Amino acid sequence: MEKNSMNSILNISDREKYLIDLIFEHYKNDKKQDIFYNKLISTIKKIIAKDEIKPSRGYLEDADSVKIYERIKASEIAVDPSQCLIVAREGKVKANIEGSVIYISGKVEGDIESKYLYVRGMVDGNVNSDYVEVFPKGTVKGEVETSRLIIHQKAEIEGNCQIK
């Protein structure tokens, strides 16, 4: 489903729309990276990329988002509703997560509670979200409770799903 048609179906605030657009920008970048991505190119990118700020605590935070790039283990990660949470491809999180808009490209082991959840990586835990979209290569292992669910081809949900 196109994101514009999704926005018209759901009642989305301007801030949520902005955060969702930010998520789709990361998704597009992930798709582009899939074409070229391997360890050699990844290493070269890390060496050459001069404008990339290296995270000092495993994550970067700005006014719009919290981006997790490394392993993080905690009992819970709660993100301010004015920010989106992005677990990058390299990110591995072992914690329950709570936030408004969440994009998972890496791996999460824990329960997720959100308004909007986009999965391109792997979630091993239960999900309670108003809107869930699982992109190709995305996997959710656990119970899913949502009002709206979109599963793309080559995406997986291993568990029960309850539509509220």
Cα three-residue angle 101-21-114, rounded to 5 degrees: 10
Q: How many CB atoms lie within 10 A of CB 162?
A: 10
User: Between 148 and 10, whose confidence is greater?
Assistant: 148
Q: How many CB atoms lie within 10 A of CB 117?
A: 28
pTM of the model: 0.74
What is the reported pLDDT for 10? 61
Whether the Cβ atoms of residue 87 and residue 106 lie closer than 8 Å to each other: yes
Average pLDDT, the chain: 83
Q: What is the dihedral of CA 92, 46, 22, 89, to 10 degrees?
A: -30
Range of the domain at 40: 3-163
Segments of 8-83 assigned E as strands: 59-61, 65-68, 71-78
What is the separation, in whole angstroms, between the first and last Cα of the chain?
Answer: 20
CA–CA distance, 159 with 144 (Å, rounded to integer)? 7
> pLDDT tens across 67-105, in order?
998 899 999 999 999 999 999 998 999 999 999 999 999
CA–CA distance, 123 with 125 (Å, rounded to integer)? 6
Query: How many folded domains does the chain comprise?
Result: 1
Mean pLDDT to the nearest integer, 55-78: 83
Q: Lowest mean pLDDT: which of 40-44, 103-107, 121-125?
A: 40-44
